[in-house]
Amino acid sequence: MLKLIVCMKQVPKVSELPWDARTGTLKRELAAGMMNPACKHALEAALQLKHQWGGRITAVTMGPPAAREILHEAVAMGADGGVLLSDPRMAGADTDVTSFTLARAIEQTCPDFDLVLCGCYTTDSETAQVGPQLAQELDVPGVAYVEHLEIDGRTLCMRREADDFLETLEMDLPGLVTITTRRYTPRYVSMSGLQDAFGEVEIQTLDCDALGLDPVSVGMKASPTRIHKVYSAVAQKENVVLKGSPKKVVDALFERFGDRIGAALGKDLNPHEHAAVDGREDND
Amino acid sequence: MTESGKNIWVFGDYRNYFQNRVTLQLLSRARDLAPALDAEVCAVILGHELEEYVGEYIAHGAQTVYVMDDPVLKDYNVERYADLTARLAAVHAPGILLVGATDFGREFAPVLAKRLKTGLTADCIDLGIDEDGLLVQTAPSFGGNLIADIVTPDARPQMATVRPGTFQEIPHDDTARGRVVRLPLPEDLPVPRVRLISAQRLPQRTQCLEEADVVICGGRGMGTRAKFKKLFDLARLMEGEVGATRPVVHAKWAGHDALVGQAGRHVRPKILFSFGISGAIQHTAALSGADFIIAVNKNPHATMMKMADVAVVADASQVCSALIRELKARIRE
């Protein structure tokens, strides 16, 4: 029976970020949370392994108390239980400290795991670093960007596309993989299934004390990196607005940005002196 | 410690040298940053039959190249490369260590950072030096909607991965001279726990979309399948590639290969045209590498229009047609 761990993250569900222009910060509390899409693919891969070999899937997340929701969602998809690492002192952790904290929790709650599965990246910070770093923390072999996996005894066989190569790799279990979003399309969860998952499922909540972690080893203070400044990329753009008939806007586009477009194309697109001879120019 | 801990190291990722010049781009940026730190720019290269690359790195700005050349290192291996690089870094104490954000680099750098007990910033789009001499690592998040400046105040080296195409490489200089330090393979090389069974180079696949300088993305706002096809005409004229949103792929106006988004392809063109796309985060998350965005949409309040350099408020299909006419005329010139 396989013991599988799926690490996941709750990320803001936003199509437009609630950006506070005055303070220059993201109003995270206004953004409803959802399970990071790539984590769903990792869970799906785990579910398929469980279907084939039998086993138990534990979903693990670190986050504010609200992150519990994605653990219930994981259970609704087919996970057997969840572990929430939540402690205000854990807030602001970078990938180094996040992987440290996750590793200690996995060692405590499921020390004899066979495989840890992670999404290949998150939509909020997009670092793709926690998976590979977690493998280091757990001192197990790890492979990132896996698209297909099979178990043969105690060996995990994997396939991935990386840097223009199609690679086949293997490693002995226990190990860790991060799963891309190209395959393992997540299964659909019905509303009633989701409601059931909020019922009797056991979600274990652990803080620093329960994990036996010194608070100075977690959270922002323990993180080697510091966020100096965060700003809106949108606000950095000049955001020129052009309006009018299609012909008019296209003319304006070339007039103002013809050099830029031409440079990208590697062509000189500026009209030459005899351009007006072309009848097309005069018809408008 | 043989050096003062201020030098800038660039990891030599040469496997796709002809397609991916990110190592050369990083050497160039390292040369820009070096004077402020009074630092030397060094490249580290592990592998087999490396002479060609050693010469290239010197011609593109490396002042010292550390080389470990052995048949055992022929295949890229994260564990082994991280172990060897960490040992080298422990001896020479670089102040900064930069890695290209290739697939390999993005797996290798986090492992290396753990080994070196230091921080790492992913996928930077700019690097600078602040008044305290710290490396300012500028990285996008939230699909490029937010930008963060990140520093590593205490741990060393300061590590970052950097997107290919972020910096311009220094032109090849045959007269450049550099120091080449050849290192023997350590005897206690660990046996990697991840084994490569086979690796075959993929044929020219549709990843052109990821590499294209011009990408033309279309959404449902194009109206109909027939109108969407005009984007392919525009792409031909611009020698670009066509990308699509999920609804368009679902409607079968474009193949799944064209999907630009979290679950599809990430693009980093010099110029991105966005036609009739509102800008759900699943799509915009894959656009953060685009240099210059021109969005066309009837709705001026669409997210895509706000994140564009130029927002054209008009019918996407009609603007596409007008653009095709105008380009034909200008290219003919």
Question: What is the CATH number for A102?
Answer: 3.40.50.620
Tally A–B CB contacts below 8 A: 273
Buried b (16+ CB within 10 A) or exposed e, A171-189: bebbbbbbbbbbebebeeb
- For residues B193 and A237, the model is more confident at B193
* Confidence band, pLDDT 50/70/90 cuts, at residue A235: low
Is B43 part of any domain?
yes
Buried b (16+ CB within 10 A) or exposed e, B174-213: eeeebebeebeeeeeeeebbbbeeebeeeeeeeeebbebb
Rounded CA-CA distance B110/B91 in Å is 20
Average pLDDT score over residue span A123-146? 94
pLDDT value of position B331: 79
In degrees, rounded to 5, the angle at the alpha carbon of residue B284 between the alpha carbons of residues B18 and B149 is 75
Please judge whether A226 and B153 are an interchain contact, meaning their C-beta atoms are less than 8 angstroms apart: yes
A15 and A86 co-located in one domain: yes
A252 and A149 co-located in one domain: no
Q: Using a CB–CB cutoff of 8 Å, tell me whether B118 touches chain A.
A: yes
* Confidence band, pLDDT 50/70/90 cuts, at residue A191: confident
A255 and A213 co-located in one domain: no
Q: Using a CB–CB cutoff of 8 Å, tell me whether B325 touches chain A.
A: yes
A27 and A102 co-located in one domain: yes
Q: Enumerate the residues of chain B whose CB falls inside 8 A of the CB of residue A166.
A: 199-200, 202
Domain span at residue B229 reads: 209-332
Q: Using a CB–CB cutoff of 8 Å, tell me whether B191 touches chain A.
A: no
A157 and A255 co-located in one domain: no
Could you give the ipTM of this predicted complex? 0.83
- Count: domains in chain A: 2
Rounded CA-CA distance B259/B288 in Å is 15
Residue spans of alpha helices (H) in A83-240: 95-109, 130-138, 191-197, 208-211, 219-222, 233-236
pLDDT value of position A16: 53
Q: Enumerate the residues of chain B whose CB falls inside 8 A of the CB of residue A184.
A: none
Q: Is pLDDT at A21 greater than 70 in this prediction?
A: no
Select from A125, A136, A264 the Cβ nearest to the Cβ of B271: A264
pLDDT tens-digit readout, A248-263: 999 999 999 988 888 8
The minimum CA-CA distance between B129 and chain A, rounded to whole Å, is: 13
B111 and B151 co-located in one domain: yes
Is A182 part of any domain?
yes
Please judge whether B202 and A165 are an interchain contact, meaning their C-beta atoms are less than 8 angstroms apart: yes
On average, the pLDDT of chain A sits at 87
Which CATH number characterizes residue B283's domain?
Answer: 3.40.50.1220
Domain span at residue A267 reads: 246-283
Distance of CA A26 to the CA centre of its chain: 18
CA-to-CA dists, residue A49 to A142, A145, A149, angstroms: 17, 17, 9
**Contact (Cβ atoms closer than 8 angstroms) between residue B82 and residue B112:** yes
Select from A230, A242, A272 the Cβ nearest to the Cβ of B310: A242
Q: Using a CB–CB cutoff of 8 Å, tell me whether B100 touches chain A.
A: no
pLDDT value of position B19: 63
pLDDT value of position B165: 74
Is B251 part of any domain?
yes
Is B201 part of any domain?
no
- Minimal CA–CA distance to A128: which of A88, A158, A98, A161? A98
B250 annotated as a binding-site residue: no
B163 and B241 co-located in one domain: no
Average pLDDT score over residue span A143-147? 96
A199 and A277 co-located in one domain: no
Per the DSSP assignment, residues forming a β-bridge with B14 are none
- Minimal CA–CA distance to B270: which of B249, B313, B239? B239
Which CATH number characterizes residue B92's domain?
Answer: 3.40.50.620
Q: How do the pLDDT tens digits run along chain B, 333 residues long?
A: 344 589 999 999 998 776 678 999 999 999 999 999 999 999 999 999 999 999 999 999 999 999 999 999 999 999 999 999 999 999 999 999 999 999 999 999 999 999 999 999 999 989 999 999 999 999 987 766 788 999 999 999 999 999 887 788 888 899 999 999 999 999 999 899 999 999 998 775 544 788 888 999 999 999 999 999 999 999 988 889 999 999 999 999 998 889 998 777 888 888 999 999 999 888 887 887 788 999 999 999 998 998 899 999 999 999 999 999 999 888 775
Q: Is pLDDT at A129 greater than 90 in this prediction?
A: yes
B216 annotated as a binding-site residue: no
pLDDT value of position A18: 60
A169 and A253 co-located in one domain: no
The minimum CA-CA distance between A176 and chain B, rounded to whole Å, is: 11
Average pLDDT score over residue span A170-192? 90
Cβ of A77: how many Cβ atoms within 10 Å? Answer: 23
- Domain boundary residue, one of B143, B167, B182: B182
The minimum CA-CA distance between A58 and chain B, rounded to whole Å, is: 24
Is B202 part of any domain?
no
B230 and B162 co-located in one domain: no
A24 and A140 co-located in one domain: yes
Is B87 part of any domain?
yes
Average pLDDT score over residue span A8-36? 69
- Domain boundary residue, one of A222, A254, A271: A222
Sequence-ordered list of residues with C-beta below 8 angstroms from that of A246, at least 6 positions apart, any chain: B314, B315, B318, B319, B321, B322
B41 and B83 co-located in one domain: yes
Is B308 part of any domain?
yes
Q: Enumerate the residues of chain B whose CB falls inside 8 A of the CB of residue A167.
A: 196, 198-199
Q: Using a CB–CB cutoff of 8 Å, tell me whether B282 touches chain A.
A: yes
B177 and B221 co-located in one domain: no
pLDDT value of position A20: 61
Tell me which chain B residue has its CA closest to the CA of residue A100.
B114
A180 and A263 co-located in one domain: no
Q: Enumerate the residues of chain B whose CB falls inside 8 A of the CB of residue A140.
A: 193
